[in-house]
Amino acid sequence: MFDCQPSSLGDRRVTLEHLRAFVLLAEGKGFQQAGLQLYRSQSAVTQSLKRLEDILGCKLLERRQGHIMGLTADGERFLPAANEILTRTSEAVSAMKQPEIAGRLLIGVPDDFKVVDLHDAISRCAELNRNLRLEVVSALSSQLLYQIDNSGLDLVILKCLEDFVPSDKRWRSHLLRREPLHWVAAQRHVFESMSEVPLVIFPDGCCYRSAALLALDRNGKHGYGAYVSASYENIRAAVSAGLGIGVLPASALANAHIILGKQEGFPELPMVELVMIQATDKYATKQLADFLSHSATMNPRNVNEYSDHNVSAESPSAGILG
C-alpha cells in the first residue's frame, strides 16, 4: 500500500514499459498502433499510459477525445528524459549480451551531417567498453569513401542517395536511416515561373547537392548556389530567411520551412540514406557496428528534435493557436 517510500531508489512504480508506451504514443500514431508495436492490446496501452500519468501526477498527452492528440507541456518535458532512459537501458543491455569490445577502432563520420546523436552513441559505447579506444575522423561523405582504403578506417558512416549506395563486396554495410529529400523554402514558390533557381545548399561533394542539381538538369532548369554552407544550422537559417530554396531531408526541416512538392511543380527527389560500412573484418568492428545499428539513437524517432521547439509537428495543435 505505501508503495511510495522516499527511498533513494526513486518511485518504484514506474516501469520501462510505461516509458515505452509513452514514447511510442508521443510519435502520435495512436494507441492502437502503439499497441501493435508493443505486442499489446489497445486497451493495455491506454491503461498503461493512464497509470503513468497517475504516478507522475500530470497529464502527458493532449487528448481531444476521439481522434488524434499531441503532447502536453508536461509531456514535452518528460519525453527527452524517457527517450534517454530507454536508449541507455537498451544500449547497456545489448552491450552486456556480447563480450566486451576491446581494441582500437577508427571511425569515419560525415561532417556535413547532423551527428550529435551519433557522437552520443559513440561515447556511450566507449563508456560501456572501457577497453575500447575509439578515434573519430570527420570528413565529407564523398571523401570518406575514398579514405577507407588509405586511412585504415574500420567503420565508416556516410550519407548517400538511394541511387548510389556503395556496395563493395569486401564490405558489410548496414542501412541506418532512410528518409525523403525535400525542396524547402520560407514561402511558396512556383517551379515553372522561375528561370533560375537560387539554391541554399551544401558545398560540392554533398549528395543532397548533386541530387538537386541532377533533378534540375533533367527538367531543363539551372540552379545556382545562392547560399553555400557546410553547416546545417546555417542552411536552415538561410532557408528560413528566404535566401533561396533548400534541399533537406525530412528530419532536418525547421518548423518554419515549407515543403515544395508536386503542386508547385517541383520534381521529385530521391531518398537519402545513412549507411554504415564495416571496412575491416576485425571482430571488434563487427561488434561496434552491431552496437551502433541497434542503438536507439539511430532511430528516426529521436531525430526530429531541433533547437526551436518542434512541438507536435503533425498534430492539430494548431487549434491552440487559433
> Which residues lie near DNA (CB under 7 A)?
13, 15, 17, 30-32, 35, 39-44, 46-51, 63-69
95 binds, among a copy of itself, DNA, none (CB under 5 to 8 A by kind): a copy of itself
Shortest Å distance, C-beta 183 to DNA: 27
CB closer to DNA out of 57 and 66:
66
Give the residue with the Cβ less far from DNA, 43 or 131: 43
The entry of DNA, a copy of itself, none that residue 63 binds, CB within 5 to 8 Å by partner kind: DNA
Nearer to a copy of itself, 85 or 237 (CB): 85
Q: Please report how close the Cβ of residue 88 comes to DNA at its closest, in angstroms.
A: 20
Q: Which is nearer to DNA, 44 or 194 (CB)?
A: 44
Least Cβ distance, residue 98 to a copy of itself (angstroms) = 9
Which residues make up the interface to a copy of itself (CB under 8 A)?
Answer: 5-12, 14-17, 20, 37-39, 55-58, 73-74, 77-78, 80-82, 84-86, 88-97, 100, 127-130, 294, 296, 299, 301
Report the nearest approach of DNA to the CB of residue 320 (Å).
13
Q: What string of H, E and C letters represents the secondary structure of the chain?
A: CCCCCCCCCCCCCCCHHHHHHHHHHHCCCHHHHHHHHHCCCHHHHHHHHHHHHHHHCCCCEEECCCCCEEECHHHHHHHHHHHHHHHHHHHHHHHHHCCCCCEEEEEEEECCCCCHHHHHHHHHHHHHCCCEEEEEEEECHHHHHHHHHHHCCCEEEEEEECCCCCCCCCCEEEEEEEEEEEEEECCCCCCCCCCEEEEEECCCCCHHHHHHHHHHHHCCCEEEEEEECCCHHHHHHHHHCCCCEEEEEHHHCCCCCEEECHHHCCCCCCEEEEEEEECCCCHHHHHHHHHHHHCHHHCHHHCCCCCCCCCCCCCCCHHHHC
For residues 43 and 255, which CB has a smaller minimum distance to DNA in the complex?
Answer: 43
Binding partner of residue 44 among a copy of itself, DNA, none, CB under 5 to 8 Å per kind?
DNA
